[in-house]
Amino acid sequence: MSNVPSSSAVVAAHAPEASSASRTVALVGPPNSGKSTLFNRLTGLRQKVANYPGVTVEKRLGRTSLQGQDVLLVDLPGVYSLEPRTEDEQVTHDLLRGRMDDVPKPDAVVLIVDVTNLGRQLTLAGPILSLGLPTLVVLNMADDLKRRGGTVDVDALAEQVGTPVALVSARTGEGLSAVGEFLQGALGVPRPVELPIISNVPSCRQWSAELGKRARYRAPLPSNWTRRLDGVFLHPVAGPLIFVMVVLAVFQTIFQAAVPLMDGVETMIAVSGGWLQSALPESWFRSLLIEGIWGGVGSVVVFLPQILLLFIFIGVLEDSGYMARAALIADRTMAKVGLEGKSFIPLISAYACAIPAILSTRTIANQRDRMATILIAPFMTCSARLPVYTLVIAAFIPEEPVYARTATMIGLYLLGFVAAVLTAAVLKSSVLKSARTPFLLEMPSYRMPTLRSIGLRLLDRAKIFLRRAGTVIMATTIVLWFLASVPLQNGEPPEIAESVAGAIGRTMEPIIEPLGFNWRIGIGIITSLAAREVIVGTLGTIYGMEADEGSLELQSALQSDLTLPGAIALLIYFAFAMQCMSTVAVVRRETGGWKWAIIQFVYMTALGYVCAFAAYRILS
């Protein structure tokens, strides 16, 4: 077995000379083939995410420069077929045929397959090669193949398919020089290959198996570690218990490990705010900068370390292969409420954000299952709720016993999950009733996550969080500062309670008073419709404007406004209520109108209000 294919297996026979013009290359492959890992390694930070026009499928575009030549890489959704049944497959089908207005037809294709599952994954090669585009077949996960005793004759396979073949490991970077060579110059039309009827799936599979034989392919032995770990993680009793223990460990670590980092960020914000306050003359601009922006945005940025720590754990669980096992365990629960296993994957991603979770439902072919998944996804505890939960829990839940705060946080996550499951059960037994679809999931081998992969994930998440802090949250705090500074009284800003913002809060107070909330919390609930974590910035601005010298002691200030029953009611309200207008807009677009978006908003908000009311009354 050779790690890097010879030149005859790298460059197609009719490749033209490389030109200096920018080229477009599509990356195609089945799910779990390592396609996105290869894309990240090739493009690094030079990538962006957007949506194809007219559909909700995300597109990832990245650029790479090879000896001064600019190449545009398009990371297409993972698919098993080019026969369009889902939006993923439709987009891949249309883009490869040049039917996307905003992305040019690819000049070449890189087909990535998992070499440890070659017989199954090569079924996609026939349809791709029939397009007539210059194609490089990348046999990924070479390190896994070698470790498990498998072999493949790369040159023989390249000769059989009539197109370049490279054996690589996107994870370690092994063999990527072959990919770079193809991207630079191998853009010729591949030699004709005798292909089966593309629409005949069994024929494609027979062809791929025949290719494997001619390439003297020896499948790798099943990983001993994978077998042993699956025997434990997928055990009907031990599996769920281990999953619960993993969740407990994650949140306990988040609370313990994030504290020093959060304290450091808070100190930096306080020191820089104090320096600015002493450096600037007293004016409306200083008030806006210190009390508005610094108090509002700074109070949210403090929680960045905790959010990043959460995403480190999510990244490790996903990249190691454990998350797929968790999905299989949870499928047993999903089946009881009428959802297919594919619904669990978007629900898992909703722990990051409901918007990409809703977009990822495009892989669900059953439209009623897809609609039900869209409607329940916002119940999952997204990262935007984390600052709210952390602030209130730290202010009202004692540090002792050790697991009190962790148990409270996990309880809130479970609360959202239970609400999602019960809502799905109601929907799937009534208006969205349909037959159950079998859940098919290809289990990846267990792998050690790489620092590069985790680092890129964290950098991307930090950019998203800081961009939101610098746009939505900053804009909200500026508007709030203005509303809290008018009308002027004798040329001076009024007390906040007598300002326009105070009037809005006091108008709302009779509605929220039964929940144990006052007018300040009411202002926060209104502003957090823009984004859930905005309530932290809002309270930071309000308390900062009320305090002397612009000091900001959010936890102690919150304790003066809320009792323990009121704090629990606030947590429950945020666990259920739809406090995110961006999600409402995405639901409207996904469902084709305002009907379901309005129903979802009213239902979630009403559920949050009723449950918060009940909690406050019972605890009081």
Q: Using alpha carbons, list the distances in angstroms from residue 447 to 61, 115, 124, 167, 172.
A: 26, 15, 24, 18, 12
Q: What are the two backbone dihedrals, phi and then psi, of residue 116, each rounded to the nearest 5 degrees?
A: -75, -15
Q: How far apart are CA 431 and CA 267, in angstroms?
A: 53
pLDDT digits (tens, 9 = 90+) for 257-276: 788 888 888 888 888 888 88
Question: What is the dihedral sign for C-alpha 565, 568, 572, 574?
Answer: positive
Strands 69-75 and 58-66: antiparallel
Q: Are 532 and 580 in contact (CB under 8 A)?
A: yes
- Please report how the helices 224-233 and 322-336 are oriented relative to each other, as an axis angle in degrees rounded to 10: 30
Q: What are the two backbone dihedrals, phi and then psi, of residue 563, each rounded to the nearest 5 degrees?
A: -90, 170
Q: Which of 198, 190, 211 is nearest to 126 (CA)?
A: 198
Q: Are 64 and 42 in contact (CB under 8 A)?
A: yes
Q: How far apart are CA 399 and CA 533, in angstroms?
A: 23
Name the token pair of 542: 């309000």
CATH number listed for the domain at residues 9-222? 3.40.50.300
pLDDT digits (tens, 9 = 90+) for 174-185: 989 889 888 876
Name the token pair of 59: 């597109």
pLDDT for 548 equals 46
Delimit the domains of the chain by residue range. 9-222
The most distant pair of C-alpha atoms in the chain lies apart, rounded to whole Å, by 90
User: What parts of the chain have a pLDDT lower than 50?
Assistant: 1-21, 51-56, 186-190, 192-204, 548-551
pLDDT for 477 equals 84
Name the token pair of 280: 């600037």
Residues 6+ apart with CB under 8 A from 19: none
pLDDT for 423 equals 93
Q: How far apart are CA 451 and CA 316, in angstroms?
A: 10
Q: Are 308 and 261 in contact (CB under 8 A)?
A: no
pLDDT for 521 equals 93
Q: How far apart are CA 153 and CA 287, in angstroms?
A: 70
| Paired residues of 60 in beta bridges | 49, 75
- R_g over Cα of the chain: 27
Residues 6+ apart with CB under 8 A from 218: 149, 150, 151, 152
DSSP string covering 195-252: ---TT-HHHHHHHHHHHHHHTT-BPPPPPHHHHHHHHHHT-TTHHHHHHHHHHHHHHH
Which secondary-structure segment (H or E) carries 136? strand 135-140
Q: How far apart are CA 275 and CA 532, in angstroms?
A: 30
Q: Using alpha carbons, list the distances in angstroms from residue 353 to 164, 348, 448, 580.
A: 39, 10, 25, 11
Q: Identify whether 487 is preceded by a cis peptide bond (ω within 30 of 0).
A: yes
Half-sphere exposure of 559 (CA within 13 A, CB side): 10
Distance of CA 399 to the CA centre of its chain: 31
pLDDT for 619 equals 94
Which residue do the tokens 């259920």 mark? 576
pLDDT for 54 equals 44
* Long-range contacts formed by 202-206: CB under 8 A, 24+ apart: 204/123, 204/126, 204/127, 205/119, 205/120, 205/123
Among left, alpha and beta (phi > 0; psi -120 to 50; other), residue 471 is alpha
Q: How far apart are CA 271 and CA 280, in angstroms?
A: 14
Q: Which of 352, 58, 30, 69 is nearest to 186 (CA)?
A: 69
Q: Are 565 and 620 in contact (CB under 8 A)?
A: yes
Name the token pair of 511: 């509605």
Q: Are 468 and 251 in contact (CB under 8 A)?
A: no
Q: For residue 305, how many other CB atoms are within 10 A of its CB? A: 20
pLDDT for 12 equals 33
DSSP string covering 7-75: GGGTS-TTPPPP-SS-EEEEEE--TTSSHHHHHHHHHTT-EEEEE-TTS--EEEEEEEEETTEEEEEEE
Q: Which of 185, 163, 191, 135 is nearest to 17 (CA)?
A: 185
